[in-house]
Every structure is written in structure tokens, then in C-alpha cells.
Amino acid sequence: MSYLNSLKVGLTYNLKTGTKSINEDDEADLDDLSTVMQIKHAIESTGSTVVLMEANDTIVTSLTENTVDIVFNIAEGIKGRGREAQIPALLNLLNIPFTGSDETTLGIALDKALTKRVVMSESVVTPKFQLFNSPKEKLKRKLLYPLIIKPNAEGSSKGISDLSIAYNESELYSLLTDIITKYSCNVLVEEYIRGREFTVGMIGNGNDIEILPIMEIKFTGNKTENLYSYRVKKESETSIFCECPADLSPKLEKSIIKMAKKVFTVLDCKDVARIDLRIDERSDIPYFIEINPLPGLVDDYSDLVVIYKESGHAYNELIVRILNEALSRYNLPKVEIQ
């Protein structure tokens, strides 16, 4: 495919406002201006022009007044279970090419329970779970303690604390009440898988999906149960360390790669995604936890960025790679760093 260095790219995003609220993690999935500017500079390194478009109530005007060749989308949306789907749906409506998965994939993937139901239909192994709309509902007998309790349609470990594991009925309903009260949402309760935790980055489309080196999240300390909680993510320099590539047997690595590709394909992801999974310490079986088809791109912090840089590439290369994957899907000339 030919290369082009005069592309006009829209960059859609949602910024943190710094507004104080009851929940410390309310804006955990939004971006700082520094990240937006770093992505802008990465795209500009190809000779392309970038138009910043904050995904708020001005976005329709921005898109109609600025003719762009493609949009690089990192927007999380404003509110609601389908918020990540808002910008892709609008871009499709306006017939504007964009990076990443479409509104259907993003709408499903943010809903953890719905995602699990979809991938289970294709024989992907995931922990047993139950969706709660009220703390008055009864726990199904088939679910065994310990259980992890988390908001059903949130990312970035929002609503997950170091105490989000329940060992008995009293703890379960206390956590359910707390999350439903604070986040006004339904709650996913699933069996906690004791064992190693991994995250897998994927880039590409169709038969050309590249599985990046598998990364293991290792926790400091000697806790029996470990959670990749909001606090742990904030204090990642002291709470965890990452091993990439992870130390895996060939059999286990093959199983993880097979699962990652299947989930990516079943949900019809585009260009880039990252899945989280745990390996049951008793059976060595991988359990799918969740997928993020709109992964964070914070330099030296977001898991996908860490993985890509550990594989020997620079931040700018990751951004341009994602952009080029999308350009190829739309049969548009790719760009290259100058």
C-alpha cells in the first residue's frame, strides 16, 4: 500500500475536569490534556495535520465544520452504559472513517455481563457470575465464595477497591449496597479466580491480528487475594510490577493467545484491543475477565503502551500503527513517521 504524509486527522477525546465528587475515581477513564497532546504530536510526526475535537456538546459542530480524512478516537463518551459508542455511532452517521472498534462492539464490551454472555456462546471460559440490579436480590446457589463485586459497565478499575472481594453473605450485600448507592448502576458479581493475572494487547484486523508479548501483573506483598484495584493502578510504581514477556509454558501461552484471538474476533474488534485474564492456580486454565477495545494510551502508564514499548517500539510508533490499521481498513493510504 502506498504511503501519504498530508493527512488531516481529527482527534476525539474526553478530558478530566478535575471536578470534585463523592467518588474519587469518577474521572478515572478520562484523559489528561498531556495525553491528548502526546497523541497529537505522534500523529503530526507523520507530517499530518491534527484537529482537536473534544467529545462534548460541541462535537457535532466540530465534525461538520472541519473536513477530516479520518478520526483518531479515544473518546470515552459522556454518560450511560453505551457512552463509549457515542462517538463511533456519530462518525458512522456522518460517514467519517475512524480508528478502533465501532459502536456495536464498544457498546457490548463496556457491559461486562453482556460481554461474558457473548463470548461464552463461543466456548470462551469465564468465571461464573450474576448481575445484580438491587441488593435485595438473592445470590444463585451455583456461585461459590470468594466473590469479586464491581460495577458492570465501568472501566479503569472504577468501583473496585482493595476490599471488593466478599467471603460471605454479609460482605457480599454490604459491597452490593455500597456500589449501587455510589455509582447508581447494576453490579457484576463473579467468582474470584485465585492465580496469576495477565493482560494481552492485540493490534490488527482479520487474519493479521498481532498478539503482543503477554504481560503478567505481579503484586507486591503477600496477600492471599490480589486485585488490580483503582488504588493499585494509582500506586502502580509500588503496588505492582510487570513482567513482559511473561514466563509461560508453551502450552499455556498457546491457550492464552487462542483465547485472545477468539474474543477479539467474536466481538468484531477493530485495530486494537486489550484483554484481561486470570489463570486458575488449581487447573492452570485461563479465565477471560474482560476486554477493552478502547484501551488507554497514557505513555509509560497504560498497559497497552507498556507492552508495546517492552516489545522494543516507541510511543509514536504505537499511535501511528493504530492509525495505519484503520487507514488500511478504509483502503486509504498509510502514513509513516518522518
The CA radius of gyration of the chain, in Å to the nearest whole number, is: 20
The mean per-residue pLDDT over the stretch 24-47 comes to 87
- Euclidean distance between CA atoms 124 and 120, whole angstroms: 5
- Kindly report, residue by residue over 235-287, the tens digit of the pLDDT: 666 677 889 999 999 999 999 999 999 999 999 999 999 999 999 999 999 99
Structural domains of the chain, with CATH: 8-98 (3.40.50.20), 117-124+194-310 (3.30.470.20), 129-191 (3.30.1490.20)
Alpha-carbon span 124 to 263, nearest angstrom: 8
Q: Cell digits for 91? A: 462518525
Lowest mean pLDDT among 28-32, 75-79, 225-229: 225-229
Given this model, what pLDDT does residue 72 score? 98
Could you tell me the strand order of the sheet in which 165-166 lies?
Answer: 129-132, 187-191, 147-151, 165-166
**Predicted confidence (pLDDT) per residue in 165-195, tens digit:** 999 999 999 999 999 988 888 999 999 999 9
Q: Looking at residue 152, what is its pLDDT?
A: 93
Looking at the chain, how many residues does it have? 338
**Rounded to two decimals, what is the model's pTM?**
0.92
> How do residues 37-55 score in pLDDT, each as one tens digit?
999 999 999 999 999 999 9
All three cell numbers of 238: 509500588
Mean pLDDT of 194-218: 95
Whether a cis peptide bond, with omega within 30° of 0, leads into 146 is yes
